[in-house]
Chain A
Amino acid sequence: MKRVTIFLIILFVGCFAVDRVGGIVMQYIHHHSNSMTAYKYRYLFNECHEDMVLFGTSRCQAHYVPQIIEDSINMSVYNGGVDGSNSIYSHFAVFNLLLKTHKPKCVLLEIMPADIRNTNDNFDAIAFLGPYYGENEQVDSLFRLAGLDWKYKLSHLYRYNSKSISDIGGLTMHYNTESRKGYIGREHPIIYPDYLSPNDEEAVPVDTAKILCLNQFHEICKKEKVELICAISPIHTIDSLPECRIIKNWAKSRGIILFDYHCYHPISHKKQYFCDQMHMNSTGSELYSKIIASDLRRRVK
């Protein structure tokens, strides 16, 4: 028993030491990595100075061309959409971390149906922000809600788990989005059906916690005097999605401007503008960006 106790103590101490040293190494790697996500977060949290910042998932990243919008509204624009950040919790966390160093004049939040649905992966995208644990109380409260708090306290290596490989790989690549200001267009269409079938899936229940998070997002914008505008960019669909109607009602009840293009027929019904059901290709994005830019020109103060 004595030997096993010594073995376990040495194991524990060894793991603790490697974990802490590994955490320091990964922190350096994360802050010097040029992977898509690390680069974007680094820019948003340290260097962002644009007047308008866009938040959202890969749909935001691929659908909004900042140069087109800038030319229209005479404001600098940065596309802060992050691939894989599939929930409002992630956008909320990124926004709070951004506010530590920069207060934009206007924020455009690209909302998608999953942002209000109760799904199994509600908190998966929060893990991308593990490296920023302990830097902001609002963000840490999300980690507590996701049940990640104690894991990040216990292990420094675990904070980097979700993006470890891309962060390490990012040391060898230079993913330059400076010229594109955060926009990453999708150039290559993927094989998808030739036909569009009506949406016969039952609407998944709305997650009230996500609605509360949306409300909090709005409250923080009001408190920081940041104008909040919401948008739903085109989805390759025939029918209007019930979740989008719920988002519309929510925006109306809060007095928030919402541009709902999810079932905009000139784009939504045309497969030449899409590379899959949820993402437009660069042709579609440029067309949509012109449309949203003219809307923003009329509405942004």
Chain B
Amino acid sequence: MIFNSISFLIFYLVVLFLYWTIPQRYRNLLLLVASYCFYMSSTPIYTGLLTLTTISTWLAALRIETSKGLGRKVYLWVALLLNIGILFTFKYYDFTYSLFADAVSVFGLTLPHHELGWILPVGISFYTFQSIGYIIDVYRKDFKAEKSLFLYALFISFFPQLVAGPIERSSNLLPQFCKKKKFCFEDFRYGFIIMLWGFFLKLCLADRCGIYVDTIYNNLEYHNGGSYLLASILFYFQIYGDFCGYSLIAIGCAKMLGFNMMQNFKRPFFATSISEFWRRWHISLSSWMRDYIYIPLGGSRCVKLKTMRNLLITMFVSGLWHGASLTYVVWGVLHGLAICMEKLFNVQKTAGRNIILRSIRTAMTFIIVTFIWIFFRADTMQDAITVITGIFYNIGIPFRHVTLYVGIAAALIVVISFESVQEKGISFSVTTSERKKTVLAGIFCISIICYILLFGVLNGDQFIYFQF
């Protein structure tokens, strides 16, 4: 069940209506049942894995809390190895085996075909990291272990963020399940608006850019460097619209149910450095990587060389998290190298108030990030190299599709205008009356819905991050 489908809308409306009409004591049960139904609508058989991850990490956390000394470490590592092992088996086994087979073939040996060929369970990367974050928090004594399996299961399986994040922290989301919820119209209105905005980003920006990007990247031999360049730029907008759109729909859904989830994107086009880009892009993952990999390795509290090593390892893992492919690893490592270069040359993390400097830095960051996205989008390293060499050595007039350009331009103007306003921190003044805010919200919602009906790509394409 994907977010941009009629079945999800019906499902969510039913859950929303029941949630606010049934007695408070049954609401968490409703959410848990709904979350498991949501997950089972995609691959029912993998619900067992979700349950296994939930129970194993819940038990491990309880044991970690009650144990002392070496025992705490043992339970931590057992839980980590079990869950990372499951993730490795489903996501990385075939990739690792084929890499090993290729390495061995250099010596003239041939390994038999032992790939598993198993379908990747939806959301496994997300809920595995979420549960790993939880048990590490308990181990570090940053958070008390949740005694109720029921509440913990709800934390892991909460349907708005189950399959593609944000990767929530236990300290943020878990306590909210224990609080009594009273319906708040302002929260409902705000959640509805951001959910609609998420649909706009997905249906009007991402999917429209995707038409052009897929045409070029799926048929590289028929196009020139000009088309590659334009497709690569549009891919940045596509993946932003897709992933940010999904996150906003998830956050909006949760908000209407009275839950506050963490912000996952913060206008990454305005980043003035790669370091800043990672504070604005997929914030839940980058902060997870920072707290559970980068800082335990030593972070930046060591000599420069070690800091760079820590950065490279963190970004390597980040690339690998996205998928079992060399292209994702290269993508991650390139980001790591870019951040290392910034540290090496002491490039300021922010460009201050100088508008010209900010603009140049923003443009440079955009170009570097777009270039690195080529590896993320290309199916193979060979395709990535084809695209890069094509851009530099075979530039020509890009493949023309005027109506597509117009559709993308219109959506981009709306998105960039809206985000520029947000970047400047312009918002409703405190003195604006609630009635006025509701009227403006209504006009905004009607405009967005009608824009989506007329210009949205409504053929139900899946979100990109579902494949992770």
Q: How far is the CA of A7 from the CA of B450 in the complex (A)?
A: 17
A33 to chain B, nearest CB (A): 12
Q: B425-468 toward A: CB 8 Å interface, digit per residue (1/0)?
A: 00000000000001001100110011001111011000000000
A-B contact count (CB 8 A): 64
Q: Is the CB of A193 within 8 A of B221?
A: yes
Q: How far is the CA of A161 from the CA of B189 in the complex (A)?
A: 27
Decide yes or no whether A191 CB sits under 8 A from chain B. Answer: yes
Q: Is the CB of B185 within 8 A of A19?
A: no
Q: Is the CB of B446 within 8 A of A18?
A: yes
Q: Among B185, B222, B456, which residue has its beta carbon within 8 angstroms of that of A161?
A: B456
Q: Among A1, A7, A18, A157, which residue has its beta carbon within 8 angstroms of that of B20?
A: A1
Q: Is the CB of A160 within 8 A of B402?
A: no
Q: Is the CB of B453 within 8 A of A161?
A: yes
What number of A residues sit within 8 Å (CB to CB) of B?
Answer: 27
Q: Among B402, B410, B442, B459, which residue has its beta carbon within 8 angstroms of that of A11?
A: B442
Q: Is the CB of B442 within 8 A of A10?
A: yes
A11 to chain B, nearest CB (A): 6
Residues of B with C-beta under 8 A to A26:
454
Residues of B with C-beta under 8 A to A11:
442, 445-446
Q: How far is the CA of A158 from the CA of B399 in the complex (A)?
A: 28
Q: Is the interface of B mostly helix, strand, loop or mixed?
A: helix
Q: How far is the CA of A155 from the CA of B399 in the complex (A)?
A: 33
Residues of B with C-beta under 8 A to A169:
402-403, 406
Q: How far is the CA of A191 from the CA of B399 in the complex (A)?
A: 10
Residues of A with C-beta under 8 A to B445:
11
Decide yes or no whether B224 CB sits under 8 A from chain A. Answer: yes
Q: How far is the CA of A15 from the CA of B445 in the complex (A)?
A: 9
Closest to B188 in A: A4
Q: Is the interface of A mostly helix, strand, loop or mixed?
A: helix
Residues of A with C-beta under 8 A to B455:
161, 164-165
A279 to chain B, nearest CB (A): 12
Decide yes or no whether A14 CB sits under 8 A from chain B. Answer: yes
- Are A158 and B453 also in contact (CB < 8 A) when A7-B438, A191-B222, A193-B221 are? yes
Q: How far is the CA of A19 from the CA of B446 in the complex (A)?
A: 9
Q: A158-171 toward B: CB 8 Å interface, digit per residue (1/0)?
A: 10110011100100
Q: B247-267 toward A: CB 8 Å interface, digit per residue (1/0)?
A: 000000000000000000000
Residues of A with C-beta under 8 A to B402:
169
Q: How far is the CA of A73 from the CA of B261 in the complex (A)?
A: 71
Q: Among A18, A190, A276, which residue has its beta carbon within 8 angstroms of that of B450?
A: A18
Decide yes or no whether A254 CB sits under 8 A from chain B. Answer: no
Residues of A with C-beta under 8 A to B442:
7, 10-11, 14
Q: Is the CB of A19 within 8 A of B221?
A: no
Q: How far is the CA of A79 from the CA of B261 in the complex (A)?
A: 57
Q: Is the CB of B185 within 8 A of A7?
A: yes
Q: Is the CB of A22 within 8 A of B450?
A: yes
Q: How far is the CA of A169 from the CA of B454 in the complex (A)?
A: 14
What would 5 A/B residue contacts be, using CB atoms closer than 8 Å? A4-B183, A7-B185, A15-B449, A22-B450, A191-B223
Q: Which residues of A contact B (CB under 8 A)?
A: 1, 3-4, 7, 10-11, 14-15, 18-19, 22, 26, 124, 155, 157-158, 160-161, 164-166, 169, 190-193, 276
The 7 closest A-B pairs by CB, nearest first: A14-B446, A157-B453, A166-B403, A165-B403, A3-B185, A157-B454, A18-B450
Q: Given known contacts A165-B406, A169-B402, A191-B223, what 19 new A-B pairs fall within 8 Å (CB)? A: A1-B20, A4-B183, A7-B438, A10-B442, A11-B445, A14-B442, A14-B446, A15-B450, A155-B453, A157-B450, A157-B453, A158-B458, A161-B456, A164-B454, A164-B455, A165-B410, A169-B403, A190-B222, A190-B223
